[in-house]
Amino acid sequence: MADEQGSTEEGEQVSGSDDDTPQGATGLLSALLSQLNLQRSQGAAETAEAVKEKPPQVLETLDIEGVAKYIEDGKAKNIVIMTGAGISTSAGIPDFRSPSSGLYDNLQKYNLPTPQSMFEIGFFMSNPEPFYTLARELYPGKFKPTPCHYFMQLLSKKGLLLRHFTQNIDTLDRMAGLPGHKIVEAHGSFHVSHCLGDCKREYSEQWMKDKIFEEQVEVVRCEDCGGLVKPDIVFFGEAMPDDFHPRVKEDLPKCDLAIIMGTSLVVQPFASLIDRVPRECPRLLINMEKSGQADPFMQMLGLGRGMDFDSEDNYRDVAWIGTCDDGCFELAKLLGWKDELDTLIKNGHGEFDAKKQEAAQASQTKDSTKETQAEKQEAGSQGSSAGSEDNSDKGHPPDIEETKKEE
């Protein structure tokens, strides 16, 4: 295909003409249609070839029991997990898209065109207050990781997890103990913030947290240039994080089991990851409904195979319908890991509660110290004022009229 400069041979032929007549436009359209037809033909041929050369079924049965047996037999050594918001709903994180959640209602005073507008970079630059209001609701540290997050940690401890690709910004996987190098945050997170102004200064998670909660600022601005400071969350209209594409290219060809949880698989380019694993790689979807299924039109164009749960040609795709937590518990039970998972959850939630209580006590102590200091300052100010009045009376000469009366 031609690039923007028309550097390819075909591009030079199309864009090199000075003909601005309808015939020239027709020629350009004809060339583009021919190219599209060629791609469609190639895609159809590849699809037909794929059906013809369908890999053998590697799972004994196309169900969660078959996936458990596959793992138990040691065939899954490089598991890749892909997740969406569904793995965090049981933690109590509100769904900002739902008018019934209360969060959407709280943001209506900002006249959002749609709930998603707060994640559009153009809207944020002109009206940043809604995002910071949302940040106070969703900021890491307010919610406990779910059983699903601890199941991923269990896979990592057993040396079976290659990578966790997530669309979530809540960092609950990190809180559950999953090492940072195992995580690819496709849509960014609150972990680091940057100035969007001229200086591009980096700020820590704690700095941003202090601004949002301690200082209660409506808009967070850079200390150097005054530009808006935003957590490194990928908004619509922004590029993916630097590590996303290299990890996709390096990790997915190695994947021998893909587990997809809590996502509708509609947001690109994340949704396309399911087609980047090897053709013989089994894929397990744990979700409240089937998602990511093959689009016949896209298949015809050779632009993605999608999931195939129900056709006779299915040889690797499994759908487990239910909550992500229940799906992980079921898989852990089938693998004989249920007690280990329960222990991880109990210990993890215990540590979370202890840290939260410690933070609350520290905050209470800090507030008490501030109040004491304020009271001392006020008392000192009053004492100074009273002393000043006394000194003023003692040093003032007697009134002239009073002196005359005494005489």
pLDDT in tens, 144-187: 999 999 999 999 999 999 999 999 988 899 999 999 999 999 99
Lookup: tokens for 334: 């089938």
Determine whether 193 is exposed, middle or buried from the number of CB atoms within 10 Å of its CB (0-12, 13-18, 19+): buried
The pLDDT, as a whole number, for residue 364 is 66
pLDDT in tens, 209-259: 888 877 777 889 999 999 999 999 888 878 888 899 999 999 999 999 999
The pLDDT, as a whole number, for residue 8 is 35
Distance separating alpha carbons of residues 106 and 130, to the nearest angstrom = 9
Mean pLDDT of 60-87: 96
Distance separating alpha carbons of residues 311 and 281, to the nearest angstrom = 17
Of 378 and 10, more confident? 378
Lookup: tokens for 281: 């790689």
Question: Which alpha helices (H) appear in 264-337, and where do they start and end?
Answer: 296-300, 324-335
b/e map of 294-333 (b: 16 or more CB within 10 Å)?
Answer: beeeebebbebbbbbbeeeeebbbbbbeebbbebbbbbbe
The pLDDT, as a whole number, for residue 16 is 37
C-alpha radius of gyration, the chain, whole number: 31
The pLDDT, as a whole number, for residue 105 is 63
Q: What is the 3-state secondary structure (H, E, C) of 142-157?
A: CCCCCHHHHHHHHHHH
The pLDDT, as a whole number, for residue 19 is 41
The pLDDT, as a whole number, for residue 130 is 83
The pLDDT, as a whole number, for residue 397 is 46
The pLDDT, as a whole number, for residue 400 is 42
SS3 call for 341 = helix
Q: Which of 192, 146, 144, 189 has the alpha carbon at shortest distance from 170?
A: 189
Q: Which of 251, 311, 317, 319 has the alpha carbon at shortest distance from 279?
A: 317
Distance separating alpha carbons of residues 229 and 128, to the nearest angstrom = 10
Active-site residue set? 187
Residue tagged 């690709």 (tokens):
165
The pLDDT, as a whole number, for residue 60 is 95
Residue 29 has pLDDT above 70, yes or no: no
SS3 call for 118 = helix
Distance separating alpha carbons of residues 148 and 168, to the nearest angstrom = 13
pLDDT in tens, 191-212: 889 999 999 999 988 888 888 8
pLDDT in tens, 377-392: 666 666 655 555 555 5
pLDDT band at 407 (very low <50, low <70, confident <90, very high): very low
SS3 call for 286 = strand
The verdict on whether omega for the bond into residue 269 sits within 30 degrees of 0, i.e. cis, is: yes
pLDDT in tens, 281-328: 999 999 999 999 977 666 666 555 799 998 888 999 999 999 999 999
Distance separating alpha carbons of residues 149 and 178, to the nearest angstrom = 8
Q: How high does pLDDT run on average in the chain?
A: 79
- The pTM (predicted TM-score) of the whole model is 0.72
